[in-house]
Amino acid sequence: MQSVNRQSFHRPNEERFTFKMDEASKTKKTWGDLEKSIVNGKGIDIGCGPDPVTPNVRRFDIEDGDANHIEDFIHEQFDYVYSAHCLEHMYHPKEALMGWWNLVKPGGHMILIVPDEDLYEQGVFPSRFNADHKSTFTISKHHSWSSASINLLSLTQELPHVKVLSIALQDDGYDRSLLNHGIHAKTPLTRTLLRLYQRWTNLKLPKISSLEIIREKFQPIDQTLLPGVLAQIQCVLLKQN
């Protein structure tokens, strides 16, 4: 496991709510024969950003329409549908996913990837790393700390003619010793102090030991900003004839 310097993650507050630019590339490095065999033929990548899953896949992102209602914009079916880190931005994930599933041909596949709520959100919602997240996801558990939690296994099993080929936590490179689960600065004073101290350190001014202790406790780390680090769930689905 690579060594992580906590200080390297301290960045201005306004920079923290950014979308990842290389999620597909990072994920593909973990793939086996199953996933590689799926992303052939005619496909669509929903929410691809600048990093589509293959060079020849049809790209669908915000400039192409609203993925909440993809059926209003796409009127054909595909051998595979790929979507990574998009479903958590949908207002109604169940309805959105059904629309995406309708784009899969019988006998075709879907690869669906979402952040894992325990590794990414780390026990706090709304998300501290992406303010646009509307849901959190887990593979399957009876109780969650998140009021917006969705069991991905249950959600996908509700799709018609579906066979779940695989569902797995992908945590490559993730350092659990850096988890800051459920701890956050609740008081306005603490949040203000952290913001001011962040500006102080951005100016390369000397560190203040007492404020460093506060920051260690309350400022979480988005490890997925590091190359090769994943904190997500991948689900591979087959649409049966």
pLDDT digits (tens, 9 = 90+) for 14-46: 333 334 568 899 999 999 999 999 999 999 999
pLDDT reading at 67 higher than 80: yes
Domain residue limits at 160: 18-179+221-239
Residue 121: inside a domain:
yes
Same domain flag for 102 and 139:
yes
Task: State the distance between the two ends of the chain, measured CA to CA, in whole angstroms.
Answer: 43
**Band of pLDDT at residue 185, cut at 50, 70 and 90:** low
Residue 156: inside a domain:
yes
> What's the average model confidence in pLDDT over 192-211?
82
Which backbone phi and psi does 136 adopt, to 5 degrees?
Answer: -120, 160
Q: How do strand 136-138 and strand 149-151 relate by DSSP bridges? A: parallel
Same domain flag for 30 and 114:
yes
Same domain flag for 204 and 114:
no
Residue 7: inside a domain:
no
Q: Which carries the bigger pLDDT value, residue 92 or residue 214?
A: 92
**Band of pLDDT at residue 192, cut at 50, 70 and 90:** confident
| 60 touches 48 (CB < 8 A) | yes
Question: Quick one: CA dihedral 88, 223, 128, 168, positive or negative?
Answer: positive
Q: What total number of domains does the chain contain?
A: 2
What pLDDT score was predicted for residue 3? 44
What pLDDT score was predicted for residue 2? 45
Q: Which of 191, 195, 197, 192 is nearest to 211 (CA)?
A: 197
The secondary structure of residue 221, as a DSSP letter, is -
- Please state, rounded to an integer, the average pLDDT across all residues of the chain: 89
Tokens 């920079």 belong to which residue?
A: 15
Same domain flag for 117 and 202:
no
Residue 171: inside a domain:
yes
Same domain flag for 191 and 174:
no
What pLDDT score was predicted for residue 63? 96
Residue 42: inside a domain:
yes
Tokens 């169940």 belong to which residue?
A: 94
| 224 touches 22 (CB < 8 A) | no
Same domain flag for 143 and 26:
yes
CB neighbour burial string for 138-173, b if at least 16 within 10 angstroms, e if fewer: beeeeebbbebbbebeebbeebeebeeeebeebbeb
Q: Which carries the bigger pLDDT value, residue 8 or residue 195?
A: 195
Residue 4: inside a domain:
no
Same domain flag for 141 and 208:
no
Same domain flag for 196 and 234:
no
Per-position DSSP letters for 161-194, written without gaps between them: TEEEEEEEEE-TT--GGG--TT----SHHHHHHH
Q: What CATH number has the domain bearing residue 38?
A: 3.40.50.150
| 80 touches 108 (CB < 8 A) | yes
Same domain flag for 119 and 63:
yes
CA distances for 80 relative to 41, 60, 114, 239, angstroms: 8, 13, 17, 10
Residue 13: inside a domain:
no
Same domain flag for 191 and 75:
no
pTM of the model: 0.84
Same domain flag for 209 and 233:
no
Residue 173: inside a domain:
yes
**Band of pLDDT at residue 186, cut at 50, 70 and 90:** low
- Gap between the Cα atoms of 54 and 58, Å rounded: 9
What pLDDT score was predicted for residue 53? 98
Same domain flag for 192 and 228:
no
